[in-house]
């Protein structure tokens, strides 16, 4: 059970629903990448980029939202972010087109950036201090539930004879519910002041000069990039390497979407188990063990000739990368004093822009070393192995509690 303090039960429920919602909106991308490719007649890397542009918003707006939290408060920022998200999914649903979808995806990213930059530290405020890392892991489980559901929503929409963008009409309704859920609960008291804003700006400069902070940010950049990048390329990989449409016929799309969903299910189950693992295993050791498992699973997914093995290997990747975000995030937060928490969160969430880089880079390298018609996924996926290697290094150099 998640431990709360000061009777913030309804806020806890609202945050739980928010994590579920932005998990679905963030990670539906893998299921719509082939739809974008087919609908707008673009290359695999171009369709992957549209799905990933969502994460550019993190790079541009995370720190400003971190400052906004200090100036206007967490509640204001959460509600503002929910409103922006609702506008983004509504635009995606109602205005078709490659570039209009790209703009809508960016707007969604801006809104969810505000929500996540606000929500992650807020989990700390409503949790018992000693259970923060575990509680954040459990909230990320809910993020995983949303991620698992999202590809099935795309399949559900297709089975009803509707266009794939109707998925975003469903998301519009869910986002409106999220907006109302976050608007009414009791929040921890906050005092906004210009002094606090000036202090946050000084803190930002101090942290940017700290090489360890930059190394944590790079770890988040590569982790989010490889997590999303692998997921967004699963469908293209299965089609190009294993010819699943020829092999499975009309069942191919459902199988591809199920594989993507199972990737997120593996991540969900890994985080659920990870909440207990992190209670009993030092975080740095857990990172090294789990990321090694992810690399081994990716090797099976890429090089196995048997399709059944491949379809099981991708979910195992999700399982083994499951604890990386809360572990790296928790280590970074705990490495600095409380006064730096908002800015640390902003910098780390800025690094989530990696989700816009690694996936398209994997696809582009595959196209360059092969061709647009026959990408060389074996070479492209070497990018993912490089990301795993750096994440492994976090388990070696990460700092202890409040060392800065």
Report for 3-7, 56-60, 297-301: range of highest mean pLDDT: 297-301
Contacts of 224 (CB under 8 A, 6+ apart): 55, 325, 351, 352, 354, 355, 358
Measured CA angle at 266 (ends 260, 268), to 5 deg: 105
Q: Averaged over 28-48, what is the pLDDT?
A: 85
Q: Averaged over 154-168, what is the pLDDT?
A: 88
Q: Spell 110-127 as b/e; 16+ CB within 10 A means b.
A: bbbbbbbbbbbbbbbbbb
pLDDT > 70? residue 199: no
Q: What is the pLDDT of residue 312?
A: 94
Cα distances from 287 to residues 212, 250, 327, in angstroms, run 17, 40, 7
pLDDT > 70? residue 280: yes
Q: Averaged over 213-231, what is the pLDDT?
A: 93
Q: What is the pLDDT of residues 82-120, one digit of tens each?
A: 999 999 999 999 998 999 999 999 999 999 989 988 887
Q: Please report, rounded to a whole number, the percentage of residues in the chain having pLDDT higher than 70.
A: 91
Q: What topology does CATH give the domain 9-397?
A: Growth Hormone; Chain: A; (1.20.1250)
The structural domains of the chain, with segments of one domain joined by +, span 9-397
Indicate the pTM of the whole model. Answer: 0.81
Q: What is the pLDDT of residue 268?
A: 85
Q: What is the pLDDT of residue 404?
A: 47
Q: What is the pLDDT of residues 349-383, one digit of tens each?
A: 788 889 889 989 999 999 999 888 889 999 999 99
How many residues are present in the chain? 404
- Distance separating alpha carbons of residues 75 and 254, to the nearest angstrom: 39
Q: What is the pLDDT of residue 79?
A: 94
Q: What is the pLDDT of residue 190?
A: 66
Q: How confident is the model at residue 33 (pLDDT cuts 50, 70, 90)?
A: confident
DSSP 91: H
Least confident of 157-166, 179-188, 283-292, 338-347: 338-347
pLDDT > 60? residue 244: yes
Q: What is the pLDDT of residue 187?
A: 83
Q: Averaged over 69-92, what is the pLDDT?
A: 91
Residue bearing the bigger pLDDT, 250 or 282: 282
Contacts of 133 (CB under 8 A, 6+ apart): 278, 283, 326, 327, 330, 334
Q: What is the pLDDT of residues 374-402, one digit of tens each?
A: 899 999 999 999 999 999 999 898 875 65
- Distance separating alpha carbons of residues 216 and 329, to the nearest angstrom: 8
Q: Phi and psi for 127 in degrees, rounded to 5?
A: -110, 155
């Amino acid at each position: 059970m998640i431990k709360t303090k000061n009777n913030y039960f309804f806020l806890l429920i609202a945050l739980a629903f928010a994590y579920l919602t932005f998990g679905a909106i963030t990670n539906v991308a893998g299921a719509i990448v082939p739809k974008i490719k087919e609908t707008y007649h673009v290359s695999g890397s171009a369709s992957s980029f549209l799905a990933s542009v969502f994460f550019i918003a993190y790079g541009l707006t995370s720190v400003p939202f971190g400052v906004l939290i200090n100036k206007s408060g967490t509640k204001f920022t959460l509600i503002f972010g929910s409103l922006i998200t609702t506008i983004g999914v509504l635009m995606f649903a109602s205005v078709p087109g490659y570039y209009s979808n790209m703009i809508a995806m960016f707007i969604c990213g801006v809104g969810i950036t505000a929500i996540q930059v606000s929500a992650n530290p807020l989990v700390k405020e409503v949790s018992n201090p000693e259970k923060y890392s575990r509680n954040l892991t459990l909230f990320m489980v809910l993020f995983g539930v949303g991620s698992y559901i999202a590809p099935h929503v795309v399949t559900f929409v297709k089975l009803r004879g509707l266009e794939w963008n109707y998925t975003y009409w469903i998301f519009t309704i869910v986002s409106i519910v999220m907006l109302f859920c976050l608007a009414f609960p009791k929040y921890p008291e906050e005092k906004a002041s210009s002094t606090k804003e000036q202090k946050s700006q000084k803190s930002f400069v101090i942290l940017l000069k700290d090489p360890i902070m930059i190394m944590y940010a790079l770890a988040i950049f590569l982790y989010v990039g490889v997590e999303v990048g692998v997921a967004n390329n699963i469908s293209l990989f299965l089609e190009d390497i294993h010819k699943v449409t020829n092999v499975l016929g009309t069942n191919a799309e459902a199988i591809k979407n199920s594989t993507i969903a199972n990737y997120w299910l593996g991540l969900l189950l890994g985080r659920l188990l990870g909440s207990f693992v992190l209670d009993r295993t030092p975080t740095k050791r857990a990172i090294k063990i789990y990321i090694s498992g992810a690399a081994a699973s990716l090797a099976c997914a890429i090089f196995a000739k048997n399709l059944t093995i491949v379809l099981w290997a991708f979910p195992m990747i999700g399982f083994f990368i499951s604890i990386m975000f809360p572990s790296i995030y928790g280590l970074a937060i705990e490495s600095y004093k409380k006064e730096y928490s908002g800015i640390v969160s902003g910098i780390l969430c800025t690094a989530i822009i990696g989700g816009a880089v690694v996936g398209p880079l994997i696809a582009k390298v595959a196209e360059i070393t092969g061709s647009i018609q026959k990408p060389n996924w074996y070479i492209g996926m070497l990018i993912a192995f490089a990301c795993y290697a750096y994440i492994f290094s976090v388990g070696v150099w990460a700092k202890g509690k409040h060392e800065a």
